[in-house]
């Protein structure tokens, strides 16, 4: 499994192309402002895209969605609990003094426990509310990695002050679904550099007892 990251926009959001190296099939995850670079990367291979996966429906994670849809017929997947945000993208953008068109609805729903196959690779969908009601992470257990959206970052955690955010739910999701993974699991985040479960368990000031973190 090959993970390529693309960072762009005022929010410095990380989008990803994840490719099954055995078959060449790929998924695009959270296409934000770096969508032009993703389009270039897929220029000769757009037919390989099996799906567009959204960890959640915040503007910075979907603002490049239509650019990706323009080059592939792959269906867009989103958890149902984030549909209200997705369906009101102009209002969401206005909160940040920005503008956005309305988006065509996603074709598929993501569900907790669902498995997504592309080539010989598999993601397991884990519902992790807190940053948003329908936030999910994508866990590739066989490869020891997870795409965690805005749930947790290197040295930080997702914000919960946006509509639909829930502080207690966020930390419950981290406890139950991230810190239960092996320490060497690679975490590819929605902003900032990748990290590991072990690194966040032992150094993230929001999580460790030494700093009075939420897991104290």
Contact 146, 140 (CB under 8 A): yes
Give the single-character DSSP code of 86.
H
Asked whether the predicted pLDDT for residue 20 surpasses 60, the reply is yes
pLDDT category, 44, cuts 50, 70, 90? confident
Contact 62, 38 (CB under 8 A): no
Nearest Cα neighbor of 103 from 54, 50, 43 is 54
| Structure confidence at residue 199 (pLDDT) | 96
Give the single-character DSSP code of 11.
T
Contact 121, 26 (CB under 8 A): no
What does the pLDDT look like over 145-182, one tens digit per residue?
A: 999 999 999 999 999 999 899 999 999 999 999 999 99
| Structure confidence at residue 164 (pLDDT) | 93
Nearest Cα neighbor of 178 from 146, 130, 202 is 146
Provide CB contacts within 8 A for 35, sequence distance 6+: 8, 15, 63, 64, 65, 67, 68
| Structure confidence at residue 41 (pLDDT) | 94
* Domains observed in the chain: 2-211 (3.60.15.10)
| Structure confidence at residue 182 (pLDDT) | 96
* 105: number of Cβ within 10 Å: 10
What does the pLDDT look like over 77-89, one tens digit per residue?
A: 999 999 999 999 9
Contact 147, 138 (CB under 8 A): yes
The rounded distance, in Å, linking the Cα atoms of 38 and 95 is 27
Contact 146, 18 (CB under 8 A): no
3-class SS of residue 156: strand
Q: Length of the chain in residues, anyone? A: 216
pLDDT category, 45, cuts 50, 70, 90? confident
pLDDT category, 187, cuts 50, 70, 90? very high
Lowest mean pLDDT among 16-20, 45-49, 90-94, 155-159: 45-49
What does the pLDDT look like over 94-128, one tens digit per residue?
A: 988 888 999 999 999 999 999 999 999 999 999 99
Of 89 and 47, the one with more pLDDT: 89
Contact 15, 35 (CB under 8 A): yes
Bridging pattern class, strands 156-157 and 115-118: unpaired
pTM of the model: 0.95
Asked whether the predicted pLDDT for residue 34 surpasses 60, the reply is yes
Distance of CA 74 to the CA centre of its chain: 17
- Residue 171, beta-bridge partner list: none
Q: How far is CA 114 from CA 106, 122, 127, 136, in A?
A: 17, 10, 10, 11
| Structure confidence at residue 210 (pLDDT) | 54
Give the single-character DSSP code of 46.
G
Contact 68, 35 (CB under 8 A): yes
């Amino acid at each position: 499994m090959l993970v390529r990251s693309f960072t762009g926009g005022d929010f410095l959001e990380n989008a990803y192309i994840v490719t099954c190296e055995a078959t060449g099939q790929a998924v695009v995850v959270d296409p934000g402002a770096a969508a032009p670079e993703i389009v270039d990367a897929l220029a000769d291979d757009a037919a390989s895209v099996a799906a567009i996966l959204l960890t959640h429906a915040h503007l910075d994670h979907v603002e490049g969605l239509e650019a990706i849809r323009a080059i592939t017929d792959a269906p867009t997947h989103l958890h149902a609990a984030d549909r209200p945000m997705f369906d009101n993208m102009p209002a969401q953008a206005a909160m940040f003094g920005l503008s956005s068109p309305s988006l065509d609805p996603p074709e598929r729903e993501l569900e907790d426990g669902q498995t997504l196959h592309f080539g010989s690779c598999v993601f397991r969908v884990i519902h992790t509310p807190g940053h948003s009601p329908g936030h999910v992470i994508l866990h590739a257990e066989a490869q020891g990695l997870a795409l965690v959206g805005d749930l947790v970052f290197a040295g930080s955690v997702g914000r919960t002050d946006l509509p639909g955010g829930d502080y207690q739910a966020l930390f419950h999701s981290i406890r139950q679904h991230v810190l239960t993974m092996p320490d060497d699991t690679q975490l590819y985040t929605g902003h900032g550099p990748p990290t590991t479960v072990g690194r966040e368990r032992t150094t993230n000031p929001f999580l460790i007892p030494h700093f009075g973190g939420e897991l104290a």
